[in-house]
Amino acid sequence: MTGTILGCIADDFTGATDLAGLLARSGVRISLRIGIPQSPPTDTSPFEVIALKSRTAPVADAVAEARAALVWLQAAGAQRFFWKYCSTFDSTPEGNIGPVAEALMAELGCDQTIYCPAFPENKRTVFMGNLFVGQQPLSESPMKDHPLTPMRDSNLMRLLEPQVKRSVGLIDRLSVARGPETVRNALSDHKANDVAHVVIDAVADADLEVIAHACRDLPLITGGSALTMPLPALYLADGLLAADAPKTAKPTVAQETIVLSGSCSAMTNAQVAAYRATGAPSYKLDPLTLAETGQSPVLTWLAAQDLTQAPLIYATADPASVTAAQQALGATDIGALIEDTLANCAIAARDAGARRIIVAGGETSGAVTKALGVAQLDIGAEIAPGVPWIFCTSDGHQMALALKSGNFGDEDFFSAAPVILDTQ
């Protein structure tokens, strides 16, 4: 049987499921671990993904967690590693994307890695080192108003340089278009000039194929989840992945459902509006009211709901409302308040019979999975690019979770997710 080939470390839970879901397109079993496993590796898969909750963590904490995850993945037998961050490179100049990469490089004894957050299928592209969301530069997209990591610069080199100690360079789209050998030569030229951190352009899936082909033997690759999609086929061709590698089996999960939305992204706002328009029961969490009344009102409302109707509890709001609440309570306090409330709603819903939980928002997903006591998950069918159903047990119950990054999915995501679970 194939052992663990690729060990992946993701900086949040929705990012981890995004990554695992794209790898699962290969048909091979993908194992997702929530947090750093506390036991030695057992029952490992060819592709192991460890989900951290470190996207906005202080650098020292993020580095320590990534190192611990690396140790576990090495014990599982992985020889190649992937550091996954958001396809919108969510990070302030004091952020941890670069420091984590440098720490992993030091532990692995490698002196160069690449950065490619492109995800063309979800309209994230990199051109001349600048990150685009659709046709908008990152700094002009809705990400400019992100409550925790407002992205005010689109240039990945400028974003990365304050975070790292060694030099940053670029391999542009023209080089990528010439093929893997050109990319490998460009990396060698950068290495000769002591450039350790190399941003690589990608505007289409074909570019990701070239980059993966050129870089698949690097000890460490960093980027968005889409860069991993070509790797299973490359590992199969290289003889690293066995043709009879284990597959994931789909369990039967009861239909009772709860939808929890903590993201305030533009797409999640549209998804909440579309779902409410279907007539689904819904409850809006207002941070100011929640700070005054506590969680009892929403938990009382939830206890009265028919979970076969998939009720929605949401804190999703427009940027102006988010800013006003932050000014009143503080961004950190609001985030913790919302996450704790939605996590407790998830527990209450599970105890009331919900076996399907749909969550929007990376921080919210982390809080929910932690509250449910989930340690390991298997990856199922994709609901949208980068958003799969995942299967686990919580308090002895078979559960299905959908953990969605804020900007992912179409407007009908909340309605479409249960249909896909039942039909695929």
CATH number of the domain that residue 279 is part of: 3.40.980.20
Non-local (6+) Cβ contacts of 401 within 8 A are 356, 357, 358, 359, 368, 369, 374, 377, 389, 390, 391, 392
Q: CA distances (Å), 357 to each of 35, 74, 281, 309, 370, in order?
A: 19, 32, 15, 13, 13
Output phi, psi for 34, to 5 deg.
Answer: -90, 110
User: Distance between CA atoms of 352 and 350, rounded to whole angstroms?
Assistant: 5
Which of 190, 207, 238 is the C-terminal boundary of a domain? 238
What pLDDT is stored for residue 340 in this prediction? 94
For residues 212 and 289, state if they share a domain.
Answer: no
Which of 184, 207, 238 is the C-terminal boundary of a domain? 238
For residues 350 and 222, state if they share a domain.
Answer: no
Q: Three-state SS for 54?
A: coil
What pLDDT is stored for residue 1 in this prediction? 39
User: Distance between CA atoms of 216 and 275, rounded to whole angstroms?
Assistant: 41
- Whether 247 is in a domain gets the answer no
For residues 273 and 222, state if they share a domain.
Answer: no
User: Distance between CA atoms of 173 and 290, rounded to whole angstroms?
Assistant: 49
What pLDDT is stored for residue 251 in this prediction? 87
- Whether 43 is in a domain gets the answer yes
> What's the structural domain count of the chain?
2
For residues 308 and 411, state if they share a domain.
Answer: yes
For residues 162 and 261, state if they share a domain.
Answer: no
Q: CA distances (Å), 194 to each of 6, 211, 373, in order?
A: 27, 20, 44
CATH number of the domain that residue 208 is part of: 3.40.50.10840
For residues 101 and 214, state if they share a domain.
Answer: yes
For residues 221 and 343, state if they share a domain.
Answer: no
- Whether 249 is in a domain gets the answer no
- Whether 296 is in a domain gets the answer yes
- Whether 250 is in a domain gets the answer no
- Whether 288 is in a domain gets the answer yes
For residues 271 and 165, state if they share a domain.
Answer: no
Its domain, for residue 30, covers 6-238
For residues 127 and 97, state if they share a domain.
Answer: yes
For residues 374 and 281, state if they share a domain.
Answer: yes
**b (16+ CB within 10 A) / e for 373-406:** ebbbbbbbebbbbbbbbbbbebeeeebbbbbbbb
Pairing, β 167-171 against β 376-384: unpaired
What pLDDT is stored for residue 331 in this prediction? 64
For residues 230 and 301, state if they share a domain.
Answer: no
User: Distance between CA atoms of 43 and 76, rounded to whole angstroms?
Assistant: 9
Non-local (6+) Cβ contacts of 342 within 8 A are 260, 262, 285, 313, 315, 359, 364, 367, 368
Torsion on CA atoms 306, 280, 316, 293, rounded to nearest 10: -40
For residues 268 and 222, state if they share a domain.
Answer: no
What pLDDT is stored for residue 2 in this prediction? 56
User: Distance between CA atoms of 408 and 401, rounded to whole angstroms?
Assistant: 16
- For the chain, 424 residues long, the average pLDDT of each consecutive 10-residue run is 85 89 90 92 92 92 98 96 93 90 98 97 96 94 83 93 97 98 98 98 98 97 97 95 82 95 92 97 92 94 98 88 75 82 97 98 89 90 89 95 90 96 88
- Whether 246 is in a domain gets the answer no
User: Distance between CA atoms of 220 and 110, rounded to whole angstroms?
Assistant: 8
- Whether 136 is in a domain gets the answer yes
